[in-house]
């Protein structure tokens, strides 16, 4: 099994463009992890740019791709026979964290707000980490062979 970077990027673009808020159906393990690999590579580049430029670029990136990432994760969970609604246990803390981080980065005048929000963000970060570990465990499970209640067996890229 070889990895083709151009094919992976094309798949990522297709998922974002054509399935922006698609929570129905199923997606294979390989396709899900291809999306995740490209997402992480882009996030690293955005984080480097954020370190150079400043601002809340990484939070903005996470907010822009929140729905496609939630959708593909829900479809992956559905491939394993679980309800895709489980994705919200991760999406809600990530959404809160991203919005607060972005607003804090953009509002340098409200430095005192940062010291009030910082302890709460630690709790949200711990919740996000626990949810991410749980969902990663669920997403590495094999899919249901053949059709299940969420649709036919997915075709891999």
pLDDT tens per residue across span 103-150: 777 666 556 666 666 777 778 888 888 988 999 999 999 999 999 999
The answer, yes or no, to whether residue 2 has pLDDT greater than 90, is: no
Rounded distance between C-alpha atoms, residue 2 and residue 113, angstroms: 49
- With tokens 């409200």, the residue in question is 110
Average pLDDT of the chain is: 86
Rounded distance between C-alpha atoms, residue 37 and residue 156, angstroms: 16
Summarised one tens digit per residue, pLDDT across range 41-62 is: 999 999 999 889 877 888 889 8
Rounded distance between C-alpha atoms, residue 38 and residue 32, angstroms: 10
Bridge partners of residue 148, in order along the sequence: 151
Query: Which token pair is 154?
Result: 């997915």
The answer, yes or no, to whether residue 153 has pLDDT greater than 80, is: yes
Q: Which residue has the higher pLDDT, 115 or 30?
A: 30
Q: pLDDT value at position 5?
A: 82
Rounded distance between C-alpha atoms, residue 130 and residue 113, angstroms: 26
The answer, yes or no, to whether residue 156 has pLDDT greater than 90, is: no
Q: pLDDT value at position 108?
A: 60
Q: Which residue has the higher pLDDT, 95 or 114?
A: 95
Q: pLDDT value at position 102?
A: 75
In contact, 115 and 63? CB cutoff 8 Å: no
Rounded distance between C-alpha atoms, residue 76 and residue 52, angstroms: 35
Q: pLDDT value at position 134?
A: 93
In percent, the amount of the chain with pLDDT more than 90 equals 46
Q: pLDDT value at position 25?
A: 93
Neighbours of 44 (CB within 10 A): 11
């Amino acid at each position: 099994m070889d990895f083709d970077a151009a094919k992976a990027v094309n798949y990522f673009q297709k998922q974002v463009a054509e399935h922006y808020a698609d929570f129905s159906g199923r997606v294979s393990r390989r396709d899900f992890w291809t999306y995740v690999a490209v997402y992480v590579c882009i996030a690293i580049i955005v984080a480097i740019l954020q370190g150079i430029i400043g601002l809340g670029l990484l939070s903005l990136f996470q907010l822009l791709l929140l729905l496609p990432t939630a959708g593909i994760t829900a479809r992956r969970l559905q491939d394993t026979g679980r309800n895709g609604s489980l994705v919200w246990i991760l999406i809600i803390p990530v959404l809160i964290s991203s919005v607060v981080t972005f607003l804090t980065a953009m509002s340098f005048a409200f430095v005192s707000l940062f010291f009030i929000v910082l302890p709460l963000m630690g709790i949200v970060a711990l919740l996000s980490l626990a949810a991410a570990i749980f969902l990663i465990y669920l997403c590495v499970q094999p899919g249901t062979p053949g059709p299940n209640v969420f649709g036919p067996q997915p075709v891999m890229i």
